[in-house]
Amino acid sequence: MGDCLFCKIIKGEIPSTKVYEDEEILAFNDIKPLAPIHILVIPKKHISSLADMENGDEVIVGKIYKVINKIAEEKGFKKDGYRVIVNCGENGGQEVMHLHFHVLAGKKLGNK
Ligand code: 5GP
Ligand code: ZN
């Protein structure tokens, strides 16, 4: 996916502040944080959106949730809590068409 922003971040063509990386998953700080901690967790496989998951992609999505908990533990916000958001499609407010999980933490978040 040559013109995908997050694929470029995965390849290192665009710099990012990495929080976690393994063979299948990358996590990095959001460039415009909406909370004291705002991390994006993405599969290295290009999946355009939640709506574009193919059979088998549920495995990587499950691993992403596990990685989110690992990051929460390591960064010390597991106990206080956090929020995970996935925007999907136009009405969902998705701007980057590479599946990503927003992890927000570090303050008491508003309702919704
Ligand atoms: P969406 O609106 O698609 O759910 O979220 C896209 C997110 O990507 C936004 O929170 C935005 O701040 C973040 N973002 C956009 N461009 C970049 C970038 O070049 N680097 C990083 N680290 N985050 C980005
Ligand atoms: Zn991509």
What kind and span of H or E run contains 39? strand 37-43
CA-atom Rg of the chain in angstroms: 14
* For range 72-79, the mean pLDDT: 98
3-state secondary structure (DSSP) of residue 5: helix
Q: How much is the pTM?
A: 0.97
Q: What is the DSSP letter of 48?
A: -
Q: Report the alpha-carbon distance of residue 98 to residue 19 in Å, rounded.
A: 18
Q: Report the alpha-carbon distance of residue 61 to residue 9 in Å, rounded.
A: 19
CA of 39 to the centre of ligand 1 (A): 10
CA of 49 to the centre of ligand 2 (A): 10
> Pocket residues for ligand 1 (CB within 6 Å)?
5, 14, 16, 28-32, 40, 87, 93-96
Q: Report the alpha-carbon distance of residue 29 to residue 81 in Å, rounded.
A: 18
Percent of residues, the chain, with pLDDT higher than 90: 96
Please, what is the average pLDDT of the chain? 97
* For range 7-17, the mean pLDDT: 98
Residues 26/27/31/36 CA torsion (nearest 10 deg): 180
Which of 46, 98, 100, 102 is labelled catalytic? 100
Residue 107 has pLDDT above 70, yes or no: yes
Specify the CATH superfamily of domain 5-105: HIT-like (3.30.428.10)
